[in-house]
Chain A
Amino acid sequence: MDELKVFTIKKNIQEDNAKVAEITRSQLRKQGTYLVNIMSSPGSGKTSTIVRTIKALKDEMKIGVMEADIDSDVDAKAVQEAGAKAIQLHTGGMCHLDATMTRQGIEELGVEELDLVFLENIGNLICPAGYDTGAMKNVAILSVPEGDDKPLKYPKIFGKVDVLIVNKIDAIEHFDFRMDLLEERVRRLNEDIIIFPISAKTGEGLDEWLNWIRKEVRKRG
């Protein structure tokens, strides 16, 4: 039998992820592609919001989408039909995307000529919050039916994202959802967060979000 030795590695896994994410970010910056990571629970409206955004902006900029659905390509098809370049990431039962999976997706998608790329993360409010994907900005979507208490239960994600989209405001009268309470709870975790109440169904509130995206894409690089 071969001789076995102990090799000390002492490698921090999160550190490695952070490094890969940093490389991705600087490469994307150099080539002028703006990557946005979108996180939410299943069904909050990630795909609906992305589709709306593509339809509104596709004549102004080239858009790509990486979809991380667990086991289907329905969302990738929906965004393709809306007019974006799209791929389905193969996540094999995972609950979050890390920087390496995101890089593989970027290579597969081919982003050189793209101005804006959305990453639709896996539907989950816990695990994705722990991983830097290499995106320039992180966006969480909370939909009205989920309740205004979610920042209390999932402080990590609400404390970390740059933008919070509150979706499905067209349905607000059917739920005990208080926007002022939500905002107060979120701001306690994240003073500078930008909040956009929208309806991906009716288009209400969408302009503010679209303007934010336009501004971010313009100043990229």
Chain B
Amino acid sequence: MHELGIVYEVVRIVDGFVQENQLTKVEKIVLEVGQLSQAIPRFLEECYPAAVSETAYEDTKLEIIVLPANGKCKSCNEVYNIIEHRRICPKCHRDEYALISGEEFNIKEIVAG
């Protein structure tokens, strides 16, 4: 599954950060995942235990913050969710927008000591 590789990559990056900053315990990893990103949050959650099993992150929690697929209408500047509104501006009914969020896939932060 696609998400498994992504989760491995997340753990690898977190591990790099942990080594660099000489941390000893990671309580939680917080991800920001856009609605249009390559990964599906539910699948990420399902893969996560497999990716961390028998590693130093076995007890580390995973939190996922979903960022909306928001576009800004090029005609009237309305900001709307392009998935919910099927790309069409709810105010002026045109479909030309500039995407302002939704493609993110970030490790936002970790809670660690």
Q: A16-B13, A94-B5 are in contact. Are A7 and B106 (CB under 8 A)?
A: no
Tell me which residues from 1 to 49 in chain A have a Cβ below 8 Å from any Cβ of chain B: 2-14, 16-17
Could you tell me the distance between the alpha carbons of A6 and B111 in the complex, rounded to whole angstroms? 4
B53 nearest CB across to chain A (Å): 13
Does B85 count as interface, using CB distance less than 8 angstroms? no
Are B5 and A7 in contact, with the CB atoms below 8 A?
Answer: no
B105–A14 contact, CB under 8 A? yes
Q: What 1/0 mask marks residues of chain B from 1 to 23 whose CB sits below 8 Å from any chain A CB?
A: 11011100110111001000101
A185 to chain B, nearest CB (A): 22
User: Chain A residues with Cβ under 8 A from B59's Cβ?
Assistant: none
Given A5-B111, A12-B105, A130-B38, A100 and B9 touching (CB < 8 A)?
A: yes
A2 is contacted by which of B1, B25, B108 (Cβ under 8 Å)? B25
B109 part of interface (Cβ distance < 8 Å): yes
Q: How far is the CA of A14 from the CA of B38 in the complex (A)?
A: 10
The CB with the most chain B CB atoms within 10 A, among A4, A101, A130, is that of A4
**Chain B facing A: main interface SS:** mixed
Interface check A98, CB cutoff 8 A: yes
Query: B100: CB under 8 A from chain A?
Result: no
Are A9's CB and B105's CB within 8 A? Answer: no
Cβ of A168 within 8 Å of any chain B Cβ, yes or no, is no
B2 lies within 8 A of A96 (CB): yes
A-facing mask of B102-113, CB < 8 A → 1, else 0?
001111111111
Given the contacts A13-B10, A13-B107, A4 and B112 also touching, CB distance less than 8 Å: yes
Contacts of B17 in A (CB 8 A): 7, 9
Inter-chain contact B5/A96, CB cutoff 8 Å: yes
Q: Which of A4, A7, A13 contacts B9 (CB 8 A)?
A: A13
CA gap between A94 and B51 in the complex, in Å? 12
The residues of A with any CB-CB pair to B shorter than 8 Å are 2-14, 16-17, 93-96, 98, 100-101, 126-127, 130
A–B Cβ pairs within 8 angstroms, 12 of them: A4-B112, A6-B109, A6-B110, A6-B111, A9-B110, A10-B109, A11-B13, A14-B38, A93-B4, A94-B1, A126-B2, A127-B2
Q: Which residues of B contact A (CB under 8 A)?
A: 1-2, 4-6, 9-10, 12-14, 17, 21, 23-25, 27, 38, 104-113
Beyond the given A8-B109, A10-B108, A94-B1, please list 17 additional residue pairs across the A-B interface where CB-CB is below 8 A.
Answer: A4-B25, A5-B113, A6-B109, A6-B110, A8-B108, A9-B14, A9-B107, A10-B107, A11-B106, A11-B107, A12-B104, A12-B105, A13-B6, A14-B38, A16-B13, A96-B2, A100-B12
